[in-house]
Amino acid sequence: MEAQDKLNNQEDDFRKFFDQERQKLIQSYHKKLHNQLQTQTELINKHLKEEVIAQGVKLQRQWIQDIKVRVEQERGRRLGKLEELASHLKRLERVALNNSSYLDENLHVHALWSAVHALSSSALVSQACKPFREELRILRHITSAHEDPVVMAALESLESSDVLDVGVEPFADLASWFSSDVAPKVVHVALVPDQNAGLVASNDVLSVVARAEYYLNEKDLDSAACKLNQLGGAAKLLLHDWLEAARRRLEVEQALEVVQAQATLASLLVV
């Protein structure tokens, strides 16, 4: 019995020892497994963190690149608008310059016509001889800006004459002077008997005077003066003062006709 009890005790002790060792192994395995799991978790977490960081860096780079592209696109769009605005501004500047030039030309033409009308009114339309130096000075000042050689020559011919300070005879006075005073004297002289040849009626003189009167009735002073200027002798002497007065008026008329022609041309060019 003792031997049996001893064996039983040994078996119990062995079972206890085995259980203890088994528990130790289990605990050791659990600890090792826990350590391995913790290590794996840390590795996984580290890897995930690195992946997240890498993905974040990648997304950030992509976002920055997208921002750069959008910025470049926006800058290009804005630059395009700026270029378009600059182009519009240049066109507006050209239009403004053209309008300014057009207005300047219009003002010049208007001033030119006003000066021409003022000179014509003072020198030719007036009912009496009237000096017109001031009117010519204004016209000369206006035309000097464009330096038209034809106009300058016409005005210089007037400036060199004394007609500026005395004026010209009105056409009505010239016609009346000729009809009532000069023509009768010329006709009379044409019919005066020559001391050597007797009574000589010059049909040429009479016809010239008649034609001159016709032209004056038609208000054609130039043709009348040209006809009378063909006469000679005593008739020419009697006509001298009248022809001088007619010449002074014709000089002013012809100079103004030249300026008016250039003013008309300037008006057409502006339109």
pLDDT tens-place string over residues 189-214 = 888 655 444 433 445 888 999 999 99
Q: Residue 79 pairs with which residues in a beta bridge?
A: none
- pLDDT for 199: 39
Distance between CA 75 and CA 89 in Å, rounded?
20
What size, in residues, is the chain? 271
Looking at this protein, which amino acid is placed at residue 80?
A: G
SS3 196: coil
Distance between CA 205 and CA 213 in Å, rounded?
12
Contact criterion met (CB below 8 Å) for 243 and 251 = no
Q: Residue 198 pairs with which residues in a beta bridge?
A: 194
State yes or no: pLDDT of 257 exceeds 70. Answer: yes
Distance between CA 69 and CA 72 in Å, rounded?
5
Q: Which pLDDT band holds residue 58 (cuts at 50, 70, 90)? A: confident
SS3 194: strand
* Section 133-141 average pLDDT: 87
- pLDDT for 101: 66
Distance between CA 271 and CA 263 in Å, rounded?
12
- pLDDT for 183: 92
Q: Which pLDDT band holds residue 233 (cuts at 50, 70, 90)? A: confident
* Section 168-173 average pLDDT: 92
State yes or no: pLDDT of 14 exceeds 80. Answer: no
- pLDDT for 247: 93
State yes or no: pLDDT of 119 exceeds 60. Answer: yes
Contact criterion met (CB below 8 Å) for 212 and 183 = yes
More confident residue, 88 or 121: 121
Q: Which of 157, 245, 237 is nearest to 205 (CA)?
A: 237
Percent of the chain past pLDDT 90, that is, above it, reads 20
- pLDDT for 193: 54
